[in-house]
Amino acid sequence: MSKIKIKRFDSRREPTSIDMEYPLKDGLTLLSLLHKLKNTLDPSLSFSGVCRSSVCGSCSVMVNGKAQLACSYKPCDGDYIEPLAYHTVKRDLIVDKTKTKKTLIDSKAWLQSEPIATNAPKIELQSSCILCDSCFSACPVMAVNENFLGPFALTRVYKNTLQGEQNSESIDAIQTNGVWDCTLCGECTAACPQGIDPKTDIMNLRSKSVQSGYSDPNFANMSFGLDFTMG
Ligand code: SF4
Ligand code: SF4
């Protein structure tokens, strides 16, 4: 028998963890295991998961501190399963994704035109986003700045810039709590199950911001060893 630990929560109780035992079986996914545990051990266990084929993005959870799609992750003995980070927990592993959807509105990350042919492969890759929020949950900046737009919204804005039309509204919208707040750590890229690379998109967005007349506000606070005081 193997054992996983699951973080439990509902609005009436403090968060707790329970250990659940299951027989090892090749190919068993975490989502299948959660269904089995719910059907056999605890009907109150709550989690999301619709398509079971890495398309809907609804089953993402944290496993040992890393975001994973439950429908593709193969559980191991001793795994600790938690809800996605930086989200309000509704019950057990179910989270409210309203906040991440709001980042799309705040960053004005919406499609504006048909893609131009030369960028079609890049846009196609971006379009494969399944809204799983794994990148958002992997981002360490969210721990210190809850208003950071996050990788999910920023990579969407970059997609818009590939459309080949004016998008100054989006570039304006990502200057505060956006491109310059990213540390370029790459955790979002490592977490994405779809092979999307938000870190590189954010670096490209910085270039586009400079082309639009913006500069890195962090430079304004650096002295570079020079004293500009008038005496
Ligand atoms: S590269 Fe930037 S957006 Fe991605 S996880 Fe790191 S800080 Fe967050
Ligand atoms: S960019 Fe990748 S990790 Fe982020 S929401 Fe989309 S599919 Fe998920």
* H or E, element range at 99: helix 98-106
User: What is the CA(41)–ligand 2 centre distance, in A?
Assistant: 32
> What are the backbone angles phi and psi of residue 7, rounded to the nearest 5°?
-75, 125
**pLDDT truncated to tens, each residue of the chain (231 aa)?**
889 999 998 777 677 888 888 887 788 999 999 999 999 888 999 999 988 888 889 999 999 999 999 999 999 999 999 999 999 999 999 999 998 888 988 888 765 544 445 556 555 566 788 989 999 999 999 999 999 999 999 998 998 888 765 568 889 999 999 999 999 999 999 999 999 999 999 999 999 999 999 998 887 666 666 665 655
**Alpha-carbon gap, residue 115 to 44, rounded angstroms:** 46
User: What is the CA(21)–ligand 1 centre distance, in A?
Assistant: 35
Nearest ligand 2 atom to alpha carbon 192: 3
What is the pTM (predicted TM-score) of this model? 0.84
The pLDDT of residue 119: 57
Class of the CATH domain delimited by 98-217:
mainly alpha
CATH architecture of residue range(s) 2-96: Roll (3.10)
DSSP reduced 3-state for 9: coil
**Alpha-carbon gap, residue 125 to 144, rounded angstroms:** 30
**Alpha-carbon gap, residue 49 to 53, rounded angstroms:** 10
Pocket around ligand 2: residues whose beta carbon is below 6 Å from it? 57, 129-135, 152, 155, 191-192, 194, 196, 198
Q: Are residues 193 and 131 in contact, defined by beta-carbon separation less than 8 angstroms?
A: no
DSSP reduced 3-state for 216: coil
Question: How do the domains of the chain map onto residue ranges?
Answer: 2-96, 98-217
The pLDDT of residue 116: 46
Pocket around ligand 1: residues whose beta carbon is below 6 Å from it? 138-139, 141, 151, 182-188, 198-199, 202
Q: In what order do the strands lie in the sheet with 80-82?
A: 16-22, 2-8, 80-82, 60-63, 66-69
The pLDDT of residue 228: 59
Nearest ligand 2 atom to alpha carbon 136: 4
The pLDDT of residue 154: 95
User: What is the CA(181)–ligand 1 centre distance, in A?
Assistant: 9
Residue of 86, 129, 199 best suited for mutating to test ligand 2, as the one with most atoms within 8 Å of CB: 129
**Alpha-carbon gap, residue 108 to 57, rounded angstroms:** 22
